[in-house]
Structure 1
Amino acid sequence: MTQRSGAILEVDALERRFDVSAPWLNRLLEGRPRRTLRAVDGVDFTIQRGQTLALVGESGCGKSTIAKLVTGLHAPSGGAIRFHGDRDRMQMIFQDPFASLNPRWRVARIVAEPLRTLRPDTPEPEVTARVADLLRTVGLSPTDGTKFPHEFSGGQRQRISIARALAGEPEFLVCDEPTSALDVSVQAQVLNLMKRLQREMGLTYLFISHDLSVVRHMADVIAVMYLGRIVEIQPTADLFAAPLHPYTRLLLDTIPDLEAPDRNRIPMGGEVPSPVSPPPGCSFHPRCPLAFDRCRTERPERRADVHDRRVACFACETPADGAAADV
């Protein structure tokens, strides 16, 4: 399928803040201030048509919040999201196939829902034929449309979720941890299905995951998030061959290596700081083995003169910028 070239999604200085203050009366009686959680803090990236961009990072870093911002489930507190396409052709695949399917509906009704919502004038025989075709596309049988979700395995339920997303003829899919609830062998089947559908239908993916070994096989570009910010973004092959940010290197060290099982690895110390009260300067500095004084007072940005905006880290800058370059 031929796709137009160029960017399909541009995210610029995106922010999302949540008020996590105690109730008004508690604050009044106890003299407690308002508290704000900065779930997404100045994020920017671009996704080209037909490409897969993966957002990775530990739980709570803001990945799923970005997914909800892009799909319109949350409104941004600041910044801009520019989608260069038809909003009706953006769909989402949710993390948990056990929770994202209505247990009271038969599969045929679940898969047909986007079609009936977006194109209500579609004749019923055409809807039925389309549902059967979609079930075949994801490796199920048209007769499965008469069953309920509880009659399927986890991998089959996620295939139903994919069929439902495809019913609206999307060009852009937001995939929020689509395989994390599945067994490893089933993960591989679902990922291979998604890769095949992308090739055949020219789909574009925003792929959310905490697992670098998964996105290595899915993504063209990987953006690494930490505490609401993107600290590094690189083409997948470059990131695995030459990771720049210390956090990315520590994440890569957690992936088992059968060729070097006894390699020396630096354990990641400490806990992720609270996004309600992040540390000053670089938010990663309390856990970073390369942190120095500047990291504790200034917040690094992804600048054009630092590895072509690929990394936000003072330790990756040149000596002329006042930091160590050979890291």
Structure 2
Amino acid sequence: MTLRPNAILEVDALERRFDVSAPWLNRLIERKPRKTLRAVDGVDFIIQRGQTLALVGESGCGKSTIAKLVTGLHPPSGGSIRFHGDRDRLQMIFQDPFASLNPRWRVARIIAEPLRTLKPDTPEAEVSARVDELLRTVGLAPADGLKFPHEFSGGQRQRISIARALAGEPEFLVCDEPTSALDVSVQAQVLNLMKRLQTEMDLTYLFISHDLSVVRHMADVIAVMYLGRIVEIQPTADLFSNPLHPYTRLLLDTIPDLEAPKRDRSPMGGEVPSPVSPPSGCSFHPRCPLAFDRCKSERPQRRAHVHNRRVACFAAEEGSPDVQ
């Protein structure tokens, strides 16, 4: 994969495996082999500057693991991550705005910490002025810097998390389910804030979510993940108007439609297989309404289909009318 001139992040054949074996003595007594969980299995994508790429999928599909790999919280087991910029300008917004904030620190200290770490020579007066500016930027008041995190609502705490991320003057933000812990009305406020900041500060987002209605509002491109692999990547409008992978179609069917609340929807059958012992062939075939013999024995690769939309599905490759 060649990095495009305007690309900021290139992920190529990325893998992350975890050893989930029983303790050595248990394996010896019970004669059990080692077990490996493939949380991320050969993922690749490119994000352009100023763009938002969203990773979506059910819980346990590997989205958050990719976020931790990109930010360096986990080392990859294979493949490569190439960030075309200053790694100090890559920051992360975490899912839980309470757990990610130090409850013993006042808000001003929390926001100032990245600035003090990355630019230790910055005078304290300048740090304080910057903290006040960031609080205003995210819709809070400078006086809020004297309070502790527990004195704020969930939405306000996430605004503090955003202010902390902005303190390092980032150009790239990894957003791991940043609104999933918030009420729907508060979600909209935080998402609108993030959209505004992206425009004003020329930010690039890797946006992790399980909620397609959220990523429809946020993303330029959507990558759909299933069991550690990306099964489809499309521009947002194209994915919603013409999903190519059966799993994407089933995900879209879960979104309520006010105009057609009683529309026929195909229920998603079965449980997500274990990533420790995934099915042979296409990992989605046990749940797929379009699966045929080839799907059970051969793993599909993600290929360009129509207008360079990429999908890993034999039914799409062979022109199944149900996909078209």
Q: Which amino acid aligns with 1:221?
A: V
Q: Which amino acid aligns with 2:256?
A: P
Aligned to 2:155: 155
RMSD: 1.2
Stretches of structure 2 lacking an aligned partner (at least 5 in a row): none
Matches within 5 A, 1:1-327: 6-304=6-304, 308=308, 310-318=310-318, 324=320, 327=323
> Partners of 1:297 and 1:151 in 2: how far apart?
56
How far the C-alpha of 1:98 sits from its partner, in A, is 1.4
> Partners of 2:306 and 2:5 in 1: how far apart?
28
Q: Which amino acid aligns with 1:312?
A: A
How far the C-alpha of 1:309 sits from its partner, in A, is 5.6
Structure 1-normalised TM-score?
0.96
- The count of aligned residue pairs is 320
Cα pair distance change 1:264/1:201, threshold 3 Å: same
How far the C-alpha of 1:305 sits from its partner, in A, is 5.8
Percentage identity across paired residues of the two chains: 88
> Partners of 1:206 and 1:94 in 2: how far apart?
12
> Partners of 2:71 and 2:140 in 1: how far apart?
27
Q: Which amino acid aligns with 2:314?
A: F
Structure 2-normalised TM-score?
0.97
Asked if the contact 1:134/1:166 (under 8 Å) is kept, the reply is yes
Stretches of structure 1 lacking an aligned partner (at least 5 in a row): none
How far the C-alpha of 1:87 sits from its partner, in A, is 0.2
How far the C-alpha of 1:318 sits from its partner, in A, is 3.0
Cα pair distance change 1:326/1:150, threshold 3 Å: closer
> Partners of 2:118 and 2:168 in 1: how far apart?
7
Asked if the contact 1:306/1:316 (under 8 Å) is kept, the reply is no
Asked if the contact 1:5/1:49 (under 8 Å) is kept, the reply is no
How far the C-alpha of 1:59 sits from its partner, in A, is 0.1
> Partners of 1:307 and 1:200 in 2: how far apart?
31
> Partners of 1:312 and 1:33 in 2: how far apart?
31
Asked if the contact 1:64/1:176 (under 8 Å) is kept, the reply is yes
Q: Which amino acid aligns with 1:238?
A: D
Q: Which amino acid aligns with 2:236?
A: T
